[in-house]
Structure 1
Amino acid sequence: MGDIRRRGVVALGVTGLVAPLTLALTTAPAQAATNCTTQAGPYQKQAEKFLGRPVDGKQSAADCRAIKAFQDTHGITPDTGYAGPVTWGVMDLVSKQRAAGNNPNKDGRCPVNKGRIACVNLTLQLSWIQDGKKVVYGPVPVRTGRKGYVTRTGLKKVYWRDLHHVSTLYNVPMPYSQFFDGGQAFHSVGLSMWNPPGSHGCVNMTTKDAQTYWSLLRTGDDVFVYGRKPGT
């Protein structure tokens, strides 16, 4: 992916999810002048419960405002307050990420015999850095490859770091790039980590997290990617 001279690949595109992409985004019904739908979506009750609203499965003005605010925060469009599959997919993922708590490797999937290693759980869209069994940073939410551009799994190594990288394929900045697999890299983006549908293969991070990864990782450090991103 990208020019072999720079091995750049961007994860910006219409990129990150987190919602089941196999489910088409349902077009919201007719909307009020406030750009807020008056009709309940197929995941109305689930959305109400997630947002701490009264769970009755009926769309109220307050329900719509709460769902719309969630959509705006997470880069979900259209942001009409309609509880469709994409919106619920993001809510469900956020819930699972929260449940992972401070012990993201409790299933032991990421190797603990490699010393310092960056782990990426595609299923939960989480990443962290551990040293042996000790988590030294994270877990943090990430945004990985969408369908057709999946982030490849397996044990890899950081092979090249470029603080001010610019993708030669998409001509967009990729700050704090740390490449680990044929053009796929950790790097920061100015988007929500839950903004669907996903990157073009890179592991997107917030600027803060990408800066910390830059300070903690070195060329030659291991990276382990496993699981499967919802919808890919």
Structure 2
Amino acid sequence: MIRTRGTGRGYALRGAAAVAVVAMTAVTAGCKEQPASGASAAPSVPVNSGSPTDDAKPGGASASPSASTPAKASPKPKPSASRTTPTADPQGKVLMASGAQGKQVRELQARLRQIGHFDRTPTGYYGTVTVAAVQSFQGKRGLSRTGKTDTVTWQKLLGMTREPTAAELNPPTTRPVAKPDKRCLTGRVLCISKNSRTLSWMIDGKVVSSMDVRFGSEYTPTREGTFSVYWKSRHHVSSIYHTAMPYAMFFSGGQAVHYSSDFAARGYNGASHGCVNVRDEGKIATLFAQVRTGDKVVVYK
């Protein structure tokens, strides 16, 4: 065995260099979106998470037809010679039904929410949750529970609700913002809730802005705890995955809050490799300009 002599100072310098290499590797690693299928798939979406089956607007050109084109009512069955057909309730012309999307659907959802029939923020897409909400409203008003919004149902709803405000029609997040963790109530904090999938930028206990976020998959989870922003990189690109991470604000090793074009396109049908993805580019651009190095980051359930 060959022995090497050296001073304590030499060992310290070599140790510091090794630590620096490890730190740079962690920072440049970054994270990348993962597909929903396979071993790295994102965990199943909660019932009120806003997937295409529960009222989140589907992306791409294959989106459902606009709400401006009323769905046709199902044809009434012809009377049978062997029995008498019961008289159907006069429901009127169908204005909106499953698959419709647009401003009128958003207003419908906002009005239903005012009287407790729609338990989330409006999405503008008429999915299974909206169908169930309309059925609930119709059932309590003695109307046929078709789940379709016809003229009778619509007029009844208008008479029981007020015109929704701009904030009610277009809330800052798809889902209600979570109650802030107590660690978020002092100072400048990126307050990030995994359960509500929202990020709130808070200063001295007041919410300045909020936005939708998504996290890592079961196999590449986003770390929970209290951190601080130690590096900001406006045009960051992951050195491992070679994918863009615009407006990156690193808070734990290679994990950062950043804009994700994949999240913007596919919603929650995917996941990151641990980063906190934001899908509204305008909001994160504003956030990036306001957040300073050293600001606190709290990730909690």
Match of 1:216 in 2: 290
Deviation at 1:20, TM superposition (A): 4.5
Match of 1:10 in 2: 31
Q: How does 1:28-39 map to 2 (within 5 A)?
A: none
Once the two structures are overlaid, the 10-residue window that deviates more, 192-201 or 10-19, is 10-19
1:124, 1:17 → 2: CA distance? Answer: 14
Match of 2:227 in 1: 156
Answer 1 or 2: higher relative contact order, Cα 8 Å, separation at least 6: 1
Q: Does 1:196 align with 2:269?
A: yes
Deviation at 1:111, TM superposition (A): 2.6
Q: Does 1:19 align with 2:45?
A: yes
The 8 Å contact of residues 236 and 244 in structure 2, kept in 1 or not, is answered as yes
Match of 2:257 in 1: 186
Out of 146, 167, 173, the residue aligned to residue 244 of structure 2 is 173
2:211, 2:233 → 1: CA distance? Answer: 21
Instruction: Determine helix, strand or coil for the equivalent of 1:48.
Output: helix
After TM superposition, the score normalised by the length of structure 2 is: 0.47
Query: Gaps (5+ residues) in structure 1?
Result: 22-33, 37-43, 61-93, 228-232
> Structure 1 pair 57/167, CA: closer, same or farther in 2 (3 Å)?
farther
2:255, 2:145 → 1: CA distance? Answer: 42
Match of 2:185 in 1: 112
Deviation at 1:192, TM superposition (A): 3.7
1:57, 1:18 → 2: CA distance? Answer: 30
The 8 Å contact of residues 232 and 293 in structure 2, kept in 1 or not, is answered as yes
Instruction: Determine helix, strand or coil for the equivalent of 1:127.
Output: strand
After TM superposition, the score normalised by the length of structure 1 is: 0.60
Instruction: Determine helix, strand or coil for the equivalent of 1:195.
Output: coil
Q: Count residues in correspondence.
A: 168
The 8 Å contact of residues 110 and 224 in structure 1, kept in 2 or not, is answered as yes
Deviation at 1:212, TM superposition (A): 1.5
1:109, 1:8 → 2: CA distance? Answer: 31
> Structure 1 pair 99/164, CA: closer, same or farther in 2 (3 Å)?
closer
Instruction: Determine helix, strand or coil for the equivalent of 1:142.
Output: strand
Match of 2:207 in 1: 135
